Structures are given as C-alpha cells and as structure tokens.
Structure 1
Amino acid sequence: MTPAHASATASAVEPASASSHAPAGERAAQAATAPHARVPAVPVRQLTLVLGGARSGKSHFAEQMATDHAAATGGPVTYIATARYDDDTSDEEMQLRIALHRARRPADWGLVESPLHLADALYANARHDGCILVDCVTLWLNNLLFLDGRSYPDHGLVTPPSAFTEEIDALLAALPTLPGHVILVSNEIGFGVVPMGAITRFYVDELGRLNQKLAAAADRVRLLVAGIPISVKGADPAC
C-alpha cells in the first residue's frame, strides 16, 4: 500500500430551461395544458457503499454497478484510484493488482489517481449525469496514516498526521453535496481477532468508524460475501 497524489478537473452543471424561471403556478398551468410534452428526467443523487473482505468480489460488483449506470443513463464513468502506480516500485504484487484492475475496466472510463485528496477529486469530477467509482477507501486511509513515510511505535498511543483527520472530514462534508452516482468501495476488516500492534489496532478501529459514517450517509450499502451481494441498506438503484 503506497501513497501518491493526483488531481483532475471538469464538472458539469445542467442548464435550466426558460420555463424553470416562471412562478410555480405558471409552471403547473403549462404542464396541465401540455400533457404530451416530454419532461427530461433529472438523475437523482445517489451514494452507494460496497463493503467486503479480501477477494470477496466487492470491486467487481462495484464495477458492474457503474457499468449498469452508464448503460442506463448514457453518462460517463470516472474511476478514482487511491493506489499509486509507480514504474520504479519494487512491489510487484501491487503492480500486478493494479494491472488487473486496469485490464478489467472499460476503455471509455475516465481515470483519476488520487491517493490523498479524495474530496478534491470528487468535487472536480462529479456531474449530474455521471458515475464515480472510488476503489478503495481502505487504501486511501492507509495512505493518510503513513503520509510521507511516517512510522509509529509498537505500543502506546498513535498520533496520526493532521491530514488524516482533515481529509476524512473533507470527504464526509463533500459526499452529501455531490451530484450523480458515487460508489465507494471499502474493506470490512473487523471480523477477525484483535490485531497485534498499536498501529494495526488503530487502523482497524479508524476504518470501522469511517465505514459506519459512510454507511450512515449512503443511500444503499451492499456487503459482498464469497462474491454474493447482501443488501444491508436501501433498495437497488433504478440504474
């Protein structure tokens, strides 16, 4: 798990029609006298949290959800990757994982690498007709915790860098304001034994707390178990 930073641009705002500026009474009268006029559907803001353990199928499920959204709406998909791709890295396992994810994604999806400033990346790329897939929150939290190669003692209190709290707060503030469909992928790592080492326990605790906050903000939550999605919260989206 290695941190990196990237940014992206572009957001879209749908223009309002001239009639949308008329008083509510006039708009109701117009609708009543023009029953055959087509009113374009406005995509609803959606937030989905996809949880699961390692190799549970959560990423594949989230990717299929984004594919279905694009097929139904015709809107773009932007994939926000929180892992750094470094040609000089000696971590061959991470390189292979990234390569597999790249090969699986449709060629027309946009890609943004944002291992640290996730809220900024979401603000820059969210749009009313689009879908954003963030994979994954787990790596992002790790990157913040070990920012600039920070190390921690085996015992005692853990004091993360200030960016750790600041970026989490920024993400939680951003999510309710974002247009379109946002899909967050995160690991559920609290089902096992209490881990050894202060920093590992701190990480497990903080990821669990963050997952709770994301689930509370989400319209729907899905838990993947052995490749099978289990509905935890909310109905399936229409697209």
Structure 2
Amino acid sequence: MLGICVEHFRFHCAAGQRLICIGSCCACVQRHIRSPGVYRHEACSLWPLNPVIGHLTQSDDRKFHAVLTKFTLVLGGCASGKSYFSEKLILSSSLSRIYIATAQAFDAEMDAKILRHQKMRGPHWRTCEAPFDIPSALKGVKTGEIVLIDCATMWLTNHILAEHDIDAQTDALILAIHACPAPVVIVSNEVGAGIVPENALARRFRNAQGRLNQQLAAEAACVIGVMAGLPFALKGALPDGVTP
C-alpha cells in the first residue's frame, strides 16, 4: 500500500470490464466507471473523518477580504484537508457564500459523500451545480458575495471524459473568474507527486491536471497549499489570522 489514492477508469466493453489505472493520484478525485453513453462515479473510500486545518481566528474580516479580492487557489493532495480549509477560510468572511459544486453523483456512495460535504459546510451557503459550465454559474454572482469552487479536478475530469476541448474550457474558466465581481476561491488537486502512470489515458489526465494547476496558479493572486491539514503559502501570503 503506497498510502496514496489511485484513481481508476473502468471501461465496459463487449469482452468484459477492463480496468485501467489512472495513476498514483494524490488527489482524492473519484473512480469513474464508463458505460456506453453513461458515466458512473464511485466515491473514494479514503475520506478524512476528522479533517484538521490551520487555526482560523475571527480577527478582522477586512484582512481576509483584502487577500480574497481577486482569486485564491487552494491546492492539496488526497484527504489533505484542502476543502475543509477553503470552507473555513470563506466562513471567516462576512460575505454571502456561494458554493459551486462540480462533482456528479450517479450512485448511493457518491450521494453519501456529497451529503458529508454538505454537513461539513453547514448551512448558509447557496449551492450551484456546475459539473461543466462554471462560467455560467459565475455570471449569477454579485458584489457582496464570495465564491468557493470545489473542485477544479472534478470539472477537468468531466470535460476529459466528455472529450471536450480542455484548452478552450480553461480559457473560458479563467476569463469568467477574472470577470466575477466577487472574490473566488477554487480548490484543485495536486496529482504530480506519484509514480508515472502506465497507460496513455492516465498520463493524459495527470498532464492535463498539472497544466491546469499551473495556469490557475499563474492567474491567482494567492496560492495556498494544504498538507496534513496544515496550510502554507505558495504565492502571496496566508491571510492574517491563519497559522499552521
């Protein structure tokens, strides 16, 4: 056991099921079962029951607003606490909270995982389902709100499986984030720390995720990494009140 989450794409074919390992993925994305015309997602079982983050204080909301006025990217591996940290970061703000969800549920296991996410977030969020079209969801955001997009990896996976133009979709996503009148925090998975995947689709996913993370990081005003529940600054500085 390598202690890492391994994604799998299973393709149903006439000869039976063929298992294709998508590679050693530090990001807890999802396992994807693909039938002709149907995508079914199985939630990864490696889910942190007791997520831990850096200490967030209720110091001065304006300090958080100053950091989040443009665009914040939060990166982390599987079960690193990145989503929990991002949610707590947004909860430290007095702005109205918008949650843009990119995962799709096709079975009871994924339904249960989404429910856990909802319970972890708590009330007082407006949720928008956007597995493909985040730009349209951002068009409805107004000044006085703050947005959490969770996560870029599921959004990317959805587009890869649908054989969409990833470059065009990424360009549209970045333009929409910059055009949004509210602060945006986007969560993404770091997948480049594992072994080289053994098949072409796995390598395509890994490389696409790496390129997406680099593009988002280049555009973000602040990039925060999360490892073992502890945040650290990759670009810019941690918001005041957040300590490892």
Q: How does the TM-score come out when normalised to structure 2?
A: 0.68
Read off the aligned partner of 1:213 and give its amino acid letter.
Q
Aligned-partner Cα distance in 2 for 1:97–1:224 = 21
Query: Who is 1:113 aligned against?
Result: 129
Query: Who is 1:61 aligned against?
Result: 85
Query: Who is 1:31 aligned against?
Result: none
Assess if the C-alpha contact under 8 Å between 1:118 and 1:167 holds in 2: no
Aligned-partner Cα distance in 2 for 1:177–1:105 = 26
By how many angstroms is 1:48 displaced? 0.6
Assess if the C-alpha contact under 8 Å between 1:119 and 1:167 holds in 2: no
Choose between structure 1 and 2 for higher RCO, CA contacts under 8 A separated by at least 6 residues: 1
Structure with greater Cα Rg: 1
Assess if the C-alpha contact under 8 Å between 2:224 and 2:238 holds in 1: no
Query: Who is 2:231 aligned against?
Result: 229
In the TM superposition, what are the counterparts of 1:33-112 in structure 2 within 5 Å?
Answer: 45-70=69-94, 75-85=95-105, 89-90=106-107, 92-112=108-128
Query: Who is 2:4 aligned against?
Result: none
Aligned-partner Cα distance in 2 for 1:97–1:188 = 20
Aligned-partner Cα distance in 1 for 2:164–2:71 = 28
Q: CA offsets per residue over residues 200-220 of structure 1, 9 Å max, x none? A: 101110111110111111111
Q: Which runs of 5+ in 1 are unaligned?
A: 5-42, 148-159
SS state of the match for residue 233, structure 2?
A: strand
Query: Who is 1:35 aligned against?
Result: none
Aligned-partner Cα distance in 1 for 2:219–2:164 = 25
By how many angstroms is 1:187 displaced? 0.2
Q: CA offsets per residue over residues 24-50 of structure 1, 9 Å max, x none? A: xxxxxxxxxxxxxxxxxxx66321100
Is 1:145 equivalent to 2:160 in the alignment? yes
SS state of the match for residue 224, structure 2?
A: strand
Query: Who is 1:20 aligned against?
Result: none
Q: CA offsets per residue over residues 109-128 of structure 1, 9 Å max, x none? A: 10000000011111222x22
Q: Which runs of 5+ in 2 are unaligned?
A: 1-29, 33-38, 41-64
Out of 147, 163, 176, the residue aligned to residue 132 of structure 1 is: 147
Q: How does the TM-score come out when normalised to structure 1?
A: 0.70
Percent identity over the alignment?
A: 37
- Write 1 or 2 for the structure with the bigger share of helix: 1
Aligned-partner Cα distance in 1 for 2:90–2:147 = 8
Assess if the C-alpha contact under 8 Å between 2:70 and 2:178 holds in 1: no
User: Size of the alignment, in residue pairs?
Assistant: 179
Aligned-partner Cα distance in 2 for 1:234–1:202 = 30
- Cα RMSD for the two superposed structures: 2.0
Out of 214, 217, 220, the residue aligned to residue 218 of structure 1 is: 220
Query: Who is 1:195 aligned against?
Result: 197
Query: Who is 2:164 aligned against?
Result: 161
Read off the aligned partner of 1:111 and give its amino acid letter.
T
Kindly report structure 1 stretches of 4+ aligned residues shifted beyond 4 Å.
1-4
